[in-house]
Amino acid sequence: MKFRYGVLLFLAVLSRPCLAQDLPDPSGPPDPSSPPPVINETSFPDRPVSWFKLVPNLAHDQKDIWTFPISVAKGHHLKPTLIVSAITVAAVAGVDEPSGRYFQGSRSYSRFNRVFSADRTSRAMIVAPSVFYAISLIRKDSYGQNSFLLAGEAVLDSEIVTSVMKDIDRRLKPIEVPPGGDFSQTWFKSATGKSAFGGIGSFPSGHTIAAFSVAAVFADRYPRPRWFPKLAYGLAGVVGFSRISLQSHHPSDVFAGAALGYSIAHYAVLHARD
């Protein structure tokens, strides 16, 4: 029981990234005689996006993503990178094995796993944004349409990163570890024959990185009402937890997916470009 609440707490922590929003600076000093500007708190600074710009935007994003280690080596973003890396390593060392053994022998989440199965969560992450896009088209809401396109861009960026990382680490999923097996010996063990495009290994979680990519885009662009970002990240957290309870991923896979999904969406996709 204590371990169950520990895992829930772990997922709760990863599902509450920083929700602070960056507001654009004014182009010049304010005129004292003019009334203060009214800032629309329900919008995030937009950037050029369309179906035709999707491929060039993806190429730009991927360049930023894969050159990120160079930026870190120069001292940029060093602290958050070290924190996320340390938490991931700690999860691998101290959480993955007890989690794997617990869920191997637990039947407490059978109903939860049926509701939040891999197929159902995948469909939900496609259907919900698509319905939002259709409504935005009907209402001729360009901001909403752009939000959908940005979310799609973030998911594509994240899945490219996930596929590459999985093909490199080839980590066994918890369900692939035999009862009584060694959960510390999961790296570079996954069998070939799976889809290389979708990623062979377990690290990071593809479902989680996609869920947090979508959540980050909509939470950043729709910070009002206040409960909406919490709902978006909460649902993404539920998706992440389902990957653990289904024994499809280790907690470290889920945490890394959440951190990467949020970071790619928030900084690579939504960050204003020069």
Count CB-CB contacts under 10 A for residue 18. 8
The pLDDT value given to residue 180: 85
The pLDDT value given to residue 213: 97
What are the pLDDT digits (tens) for 63-89?
999 999 999 998 888 999 999 999 999
Overall pTM surpassing 0.85 (yes/no): no
- pLDDT confidence band for 191 (50 / 70 / 90): confident
Query: d(Cα 89, Cα 94) in Å, to the nearest integer?
Result: 8
Measured over the CA atoms of residue 178, residue 171, residue 262 and residue 57, the dihedral's sign is negative
- Side-chain half-sphere of 269: how many Cα atoms within 13 Å? 35
Q: Is the predicted pLDDT of residue 25 greater than 50, yes or no? A: no
The pLDDT value given to residue 29: 44
The pLDDT value given to residue 18: 37
- pLDDT confidence band for 31 (50 / 70 / 90): very low
Count CB-CB contacts under 10 A for residue 223. 17
| Mean pLDDT rounded to a whole number for the chain | 83
Tokens representing 155 are 């998911």
What single-letter DSSP state applies at residue 30?
A: P
Q: 41-45, 188-192, 267-271: which has the highest mean pLDDT?
A: 267-271
For the chain, the first-to-last Cα distance in angstroms comes to 51
Q: Is the predicted pLDDT of residue 194 greater than 50, yes or no? A: yes
Long-range contacts (CB closer than 8 Å, 24 or more residues apart) made by 146-149? 146/46, 146/49, 147/217, 147/218, 147/221, 147/222, 149/49, 149/50, 149/51, 149/54
The pLDDT value given to residue 43: 45
Q: What percent of the chain has pLDDT over 70?
A: 79
